[in-house]
Amino acid sequence: MQRIAAEPLDALRTRTSAKWRLYPADVLPLPVAEMDYPLAEPIAAALHAAIDRSDTGYTNGSLPVAEAFQDFASTRLGWEVDPARVTCTADVSMGIVEVLRRVTTPGDGVIITPPIYPPFFDLVAEASCAVVEVPMLGGIDEGWALDLDGIDAAFAAGARAMVLCNPHNPIGLVPDASTLAALAEIAARHDATIVADEVHGPLAQPATPYTPFLTVSETAREHGIAITSASKSFNIAGLKSALVVTASERADRVRQQLPYEVEWRMGQFGAIASIAAFREGGPWLDGVLASLDDNRRLLADLIADELPGVRYRIPDATYLAWLDLSALGWGDDPAAYALEHAKVALAIGPTFGATVGRGHARLNFACTPEVLSEAITRLADARIG
């Protein structure tokens, strides 16, 4: 497989995105979920062509993106999507909030599963709901699993919805079909809704294929709404395009209640880039997955050699590593110590869950092997110092 090589630091530091502007030049920035690979050529060509024709107006609705995604989802993900059951919006987070507003009433509980993508806490609050934490079972050593009994109990206690992270950020878990089907049955038993964030789905490694929630059963289609995007897998988060996908009349009614403006918030460049990604980006994505596979394994070797005691489980999806740095004695927030003493920026562990995140941090390994190696060496030197 032809790898896609990440760009060198001197080129990356000319970028103006948050990852490259939040920290001084002597810091290796590895917290933000943004890849260091060059933009896929079909996407770049589509955007250049749009500029050349001054195509910077409003988007032409959801259908062009939905039809491109239909082919991509069928071919790569085994997911048959009806374009007529897709409403686009700006990003996955916006889609989550808008759907939650329509399947809950203010004050209702919404389940999330720490350690979890930190904005989930805020998105639930933005939807005027209350966060109900049901932490993941297991851990780095033995592996992770959704706590289905805990989720069942939380629904029984009154929660009305759950935000499912599939695959899971930050631990890289890809739930299997039987687990997802069981989750759907739990939701049905309580007449609740699963809002499935599936943005990292195309970043599952081939050995552990991702199962879209809406594919596992009729019950999942009845009680689930999926939200996805090309943003993570093709590194176009700044261009603003996401898809809200339904597969039942019950879920259709929710999607159809979305305010008119939700669809118009999709960016024109986001739509153009997404169509190019879904239609022509497959070879690039395959090359990125191969490079990420190399890096996730390299990280395990580097940690074993230079940071014994640090715990890391190779993720099955995403380009994010969840690290238990407790053995280093750097406190509840080791990312703060790493930034000050090693000049390595990591995502702050406790923001993923105040309890389960203590002593942890998230590292983005979608970079050159040299940057990854340098980061671990800096962390090791800070420990020795």
Query: Which residue reads 């059951």 in tokens?
Result: 85
Pairing of strands 347-348, 86-89: unpaired
What does residue 170 show for φ and ψ, rounded to 5 degrees? -110, 0
Residue 265: Cβ within 10 Å count: 19
pLDDT mean over 241-248: 98
Burial profile 78-105: b = 16 or more Cβ within 10 angstroms, e = fewer: ebebebebbbbbbbbbbbbbbbbbbbbe
pLDDT 10s digits, 270-315 = 999 999 999 999 999 999 999 999 999 999 999 999 999 999 999 9
Q: Which residues pair with 204 in a beta bridge?
A: 317
Contacts of 187 (CB under 8 A, 6+ apart): 155, 162, 193, 194, 219, 223, 224
Looking at residue 383, its pLDDT comes to 86
| pLDDT in the model for residue 36 | 98
Whether residue 65 is predicted with pLDDT greater than 90 in this model: the reply is yes
With a cut of 80, say whether residue 18 has pLDDT above it: yes
Residue whose structure tokens are 């986001």: 270
Q: Using 50, 70 and 90 to split pLDDT, how confident is the model at 377?
A: very high
pLDDT at 40 over 80: yes
Tell me, what DSSP letter sits at residue 266?
A: S
pLDDT at site 258: 98
What is the share, in percent, of the chain residues with pLDDT greater than 70? 99
**Gap between the Cα atoms of 249 and 11, Å rounded:** 49
Confirm if 108 and 85 have CB atoms less than 8 A apart.
no
CATH topology of domain 44-280: Aspartate Aminotransferase; domain 2 (3.40.640)
CATH class of 9-38+282-384: alpha beta
Q: Establish whether the linkage from the previous residue to 115 is cis, with ω within 30° of 0.
A: yes
Query: How far, in Å, CA of 147 to CA of 87, rounded?
Result: 31
CB burial of 48-62 (b: ≥16 within 10 Å; e: otherwise) equals eebeeeeeeeebeeb
Q: For residue 341, count other CB atoms closer than 10 A to its CB.
A: 15
Q: Which residues pair with 244 in a beta bridge?
A: 87, 227
Tokens of 83: 């374009």
pLDDT bracket for residue 350 (50, 70, 90): very high
| Cα–Cα distance for residue pair 330/359, rounded to 1 Å | 7
In this prediction, residue 385 carries a pLDDT of: 58
Q: What is the mean pLDDT of the chain?
A: 97
Strand ranges (DSSP E) for the chain? Answer: 28-29, 86-89, 109-112, 130-133, 137-139, 143-145, 161-165, 193-197, 224-228, 242-245, 311-312, 320-324, 344-345, 347-348, 360-364
What token pair was written down for 219? 């019950």
Using left for φ > 0, alpha for ψ between -120 and 50, and beta otherwise, residue 359 falls in: left
Whether the per-residue pLDDT at 2 is higher than 70: the answer is: yes
Whether residue 1 is predicted with pLDDT greater than 90 in this model: the reply is no
Domain ranges of the chain: 9-38+282-384, 44-280
Segment 119-167, tens digit of pLDDT: 999 999 999 999 999 999 999 999 999 999 999 999 999 999 999 999 9
